[in-house]
């Protein structure tokens, strides 16, 4: 039996509470609030207490999808990234960076949100960045 705890950040909302994910034989089985986190000080809301339950949900998308001839098809990450880069270049070449907007999520970390807005502004050249919390 292999039991471990992994310190991580809750992905359910933008508060960024920390907890220890309990992992038994490679399977997430529970969460323990992190008492030393300055964000949540040992507390979690009901979503944080149960965050381990969705990790293995069969409805999660784990493979990129590209619509081909009107139908979503599973593709590899290299193809998905190449497709995305080519479309971003095509649009910015034709209409400039402001023709593109980025929507990010409360379900990723603040650091990931920071990286996306940095990519939008510095690499693509648009200030059109918004967040699902405002949708």
Residues of the shown chain interacting with ligand SF4 in the complex, contacts defined by CB under 6 A: 10, 12-13, 15-17, 40, 44-45, 47-48
CB atoms closer than 10 angstroms to residue 16: 15
Q: Which position's Cβ is nearest ligand SF4?
A: 48
The DSSP string of 2-53 is -EEEEEEE--SSTT--EEEEEEETTEEEEEEE-TT-TTTTT---HHHHTGGG
Q: Minimal distance in Å, beta carbon 78 to ligand SF4?
A: 32
Residue whose CB is less far from ligand SF4, 16 or 64: 16
Residue whose CB is less far from ligand SF4, 10 or 120: 10
Residue whose CB is less far from ligand SF4, 15 or 80: 15
Q: Minimal distance in Å, beta carbon 41 to ligand SF4?
A: 11
Q: Minimal distance in Å, beta carbon 40 to ligand SF4?
A: 6
Q: Minimal distance in Å, beta carbon 12 to ligand SF4?
A: 3
Residue whose CB is less far from ligand SF4, 17 or 124: 17
Q: How big, in percent rounded to 5, are the helix, strand and coil portions of the chain?
A: 35, 25, 40
Q: Minimal distance in Å, beta carbon 52 to ligand SF4?
A: 12
Residue whose CB is less far from ligand SF4, 13 or 80: 13
CA distance 124 to 100: 8
Q: Please name the residues in contact with 131: beta carbons below 8 A apart, sequence gap of 6 or more.
A: 103, 104, 105, 106, 113
Q: Is 91 exposed, middle or buried (0-12, 13-18, 19+ CB in 10 A)?
A: middle
């Amino acid at each position: 039996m292999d039991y471990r705890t992994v310190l991580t950040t809750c992905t359910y909302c933008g508060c960024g509470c920390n907890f220890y994910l309990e992992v038994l034989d490679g399977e997430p089985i529970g969460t323990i609030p992190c008492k030393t986190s300055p964000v949540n000080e040992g507390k979690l809301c009901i979503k944080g207490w149960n965050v381990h339950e969705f990790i293995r949900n069969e409805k999660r998308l784990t493979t990129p999808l590209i619509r081909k001839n009107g139908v979503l098809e599973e593709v590899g990450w290299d193809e998905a990234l190449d497709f995305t880069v080519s479309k971003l270049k095509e649009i910015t070449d034709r209409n400039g960076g402001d023709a593109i907007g980025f929507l990010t999520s409360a379900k990723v970390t603040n650091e990931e949100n920071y990286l996306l807005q940095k990519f939008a502004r510095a690499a693509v050249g648009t200030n059109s960045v918004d967040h699902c919390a405002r949708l």
